[in-house]
Structure 1
Amino acid sequence: MVTLATDRAADGRGEAVYEGVNRLGRDEVTLRLHRGGGDLFTLERQLVRAGGVTLTQVFLVGAEAELHDFASADPYGDSLQSSYLALKQRYLSEARGRTVVQRPSMPGDFFDQIGEIEHCRHEAELLPIAQTVTRALGAEQYIFSWLVMDAKSGDVIEHRYLVGCDPAWLNKYIDHVWYMNDPLLEYAKRNATPVLSSRLDLYNDVHWLTEAATHGFRNNLVCPVHAGTNSVVVMLQASNADRTAAGEGILWRNRRHLRALACELLDWRLAGLQQQATSQFGLSGEEMNVLRLVHAGGTASNVAEALQVSVKTVYGVVYPRINNKMGKPNINKAAAMAVSCGLIK
């Protein structure tokens, strides 16, 4: 195991005040502590598997005990002990003497509460709202998943989870690679309407979802939302542990509100990616229009006509300039990246 700790500024996820990179065999686990303002912090645990699949959990930290619970639930906890200790010490140092930020009381209407999401600067501010709304709608736990799929195979190559559940469960789910055999995820890839997990066919009689129930995921409502591209899917899973039919009933009755929450979380994520990509690539409005044309199936002739230049100029100047800015070998890959970054739809 190799551990590397650094302090650096980060993107819209908040300032990264700690980062520890740990190489464990063929896997790599990175722990980050982000400060989102006041007493708001998030723990980001990113696992990059040997095959290249990336799985990132974002967990709200409001007390030292929550860090302890997360570390205790980590299947790599023993190997990551020094990194978790350093992160905890940094958290205590950063949190000491800081002013506690009291979020303004939100209106009782669910849509008004969901509307607060667009004003969030960081995920640390986003998570409490998601928790408040889901609990008010009958869900004791939730997981919001951002999934990026390989265009050719359809396999999910990047998972990002906003965690509003028992960290022991999500760590177990990831460690056992259950995302490769998840009927909720398979449903979300192909559908856009909410569904209860009890209405889905499981792959066999002894499925791991029965174990999920022991962690409070007895009743599950899945709300898929698609981002306008086949390569990105998001899914809100809202769950409770009620053993009666009322547990499913309240989730189903509130499915429209929960789906609205999922849509708003998606919009927030896309807006952040677009802002980040705009700053990173420095594309002009004209270049963005070129990418839109290419993504829509436009040819070099269509681009030349739109820009009032020759096709030779498109191939020799326009495309190479965009490719260089985006670090891609050809314009089709540049357009695909622009879609995944939320720059174009």
Structure 2
Amino acid sequence: MATQLTPPDLSVLFERLISASGDCELADCVKAIVSALGGESYVFVAIYPGVSTAARPTHRFLIGCSPEWCQMYNTNKWYMTDPFLEYARSNTAPITGSEITLETQGQCEMLAAASEHGFRSGIVVPVHTSVSDRLGVLYIGSDDSQEIGEKKLGAHRLYFRALASELLDWFNRVSKRELVEAHGITEMDLRVMGYVKMGFTAEDIAHELDVSIQTVYGNYKKIKDKIGVSHISEAVKFAQINDLLA
């Protein structure tokens, strides 16, 4: 039976989650939070629709359920017709399994398989950011019947929404750090691209940084070479898509 934690206890777990240094520590925190709130299985996926670079995948997963279920999900390509994923793209409110409308045989098969692998009942929590249409989806499952499980999980929907939000923030921070390290982007590079984003000319930037225009053009070249583009505006677009600029 899951251990019921008080809000202060949950706050400690959330603080640990926010400062988690890697996926393993993060997964342990999420497992503890989900268990405390009556769940038994979970999957979180962070989706980056606008990202197409080789430096970072467009989907990132945190899995706390049966590996067999994930294999079935991928093998059958259920991600192409997942009704919860489709719902999450244009909605922000959590939704339970019984509330979703199944329209295809494949969706019925997916839900039937899910019920055999830790998601007999469940709640799905979408979370969005305003940057590049980034999306997170938290799936929480229970082996309880729909009537019991959905009521139990639904009672903690506010905590699950907070969990989904913190997970998407965590993955965004990690992704940005990985991208910056992979391309060797410096704080000065980001500062220069930030000025370009605001419409500053090279002369304006030189004045702001108290350097020569030649130095600014030198910065442009370094940035373009690191990112692999031919114009500074393309570098700025890359930085915006990947949420590198404030």
TM-score, length basis structure 2: 0.79
Matched letter for residue 236 of structure 2:
A
Does the CA contact (< 8 Å) of 1:221 and 1:237 recur in 2?
yes
* CA deviation vs aligned residue, 1:180-220 (integer Å, no higher than 9, x gap): 11121122222333222332333336622232212221222
Distance in 2 between residues matched to 1:151 and 1:119, nearest whole Å: 25
Q: Given the alignment of the two structures, is residue 137 of structure 1 paired with residue 22 of structure 2, yes or no?
A: no
Deviation at 1:247, TM superposition (A): 0.7
Classify the secondary structure of the residue corresponding to 1:162: strand
Query: 2:127 maps to what in 1?
Result: 225
Deviation at 1:241, TM superposition (A): 2.3
Deviation at 1:304, TM superposition (A): 4.6
Unaligned 5+ runs, structure 1: 1-105
Distance in 2 between residues matched to 1:180 and 1:319, nearest whole Å: 41
As a proportion of its length, which structure holds more helix?
A: 2
Matched letter for residue 167 of structure 1:
P
Classify the secondary structure of the residue corresponding to 1:239: strand
Matched letter for residue 161 of structure 1:
F
Aligned mate of 1:325, from 215, 226, 229: 226
Matched-pair identity in %: 29
Query: 1:274 maps to what in 2?
Result: 176
Q: Given the alignment of the two structures, is residue 259 of structure 1 paired with residue 143 of structure 2, yes or no?
A: no
Deviation at 1:130, TM superposition (A): 0.7
Cα separation, partners in 2 of 1:171 and 1:332, compared to 1, 3 Å: farther
Does the CA contact (< 8 Å) of 1:216 and 1:240 recur in 2?
yes
Matched letter for residue 161 of structure 2:
R
* Segments ≥4 residues shifted beyond 6 Å: 312-315
As a proportion of its length, which structure holds more strand?
A: 1
Q: Which has the higher contact order (CA 8 A, sep 6+)?
A: 2
Query: 2:59 maps to what in 1?
Result: 159
User: Residues 240-251 of structure 1 correspond to what in structure 2 (within 5 A)?
Assistant: 240-251=142-153
Query: 1:283 maps to what in 2?
Result: 185
Matched letter for residue 193 of structure 1:
A
Classify the secondary structure of the residue corresponding to 1:236: strand
Cα separation, partners in 2 of 1:300 and 1:273, compared to 1, 3 Å: same
Query: 2:204 maps to what in 1?
Result: 305
Classify the secondary structure of the residue corresponding to 1:186: helix
Deviation at 1:166, TM superposition (A): 0.6
Classify the secondary structure of the residue corresponding to 2:177: helix
Unaligned 5+ runs, structure 2: 1-5
- Paired residue total: 232
Query: 2:3 maps to what in 1?
Result: none
For the aligned residue pairs, the C-alpha RMSD in angstroms reads 3.1
Classify the secondary structure of the residue corresponding to 1:215: coil
Distance in 2 between residues matched to 1:177 and 1:336, nearest whole Å: 32
Aligned mate of 2:46, from 146, 150, 164: 146
Q: Given the alignment of the two structures, is residue 176 of structure 1 paired with residue 76 of structure 2, yes or no?
A: yes
Distance in 1 between residues matched to 2:18 and 2:187, nearest whole Å: 24
Distance in 2 between residues matched to 1:308 and 1:112, nearest whole Å: 47
Does the CA contact (< 8 Å) of 1:232 and 1:340 recur in 2?
no
Distance in 1 between residues matched to 2:10 and 2:26, nearest whole Å: 15
Cα separation, partners in 2 of 1:132 and 1:285, compared to 1, 3 Å: same
Does the CA contact (< 8 Å) of 2:122 and 2:149 recur in 1?
no
Query: 1:44 maps to what in 2?
Result: none
Classify the secondary structure of the residue corresponding to 1:229: coil
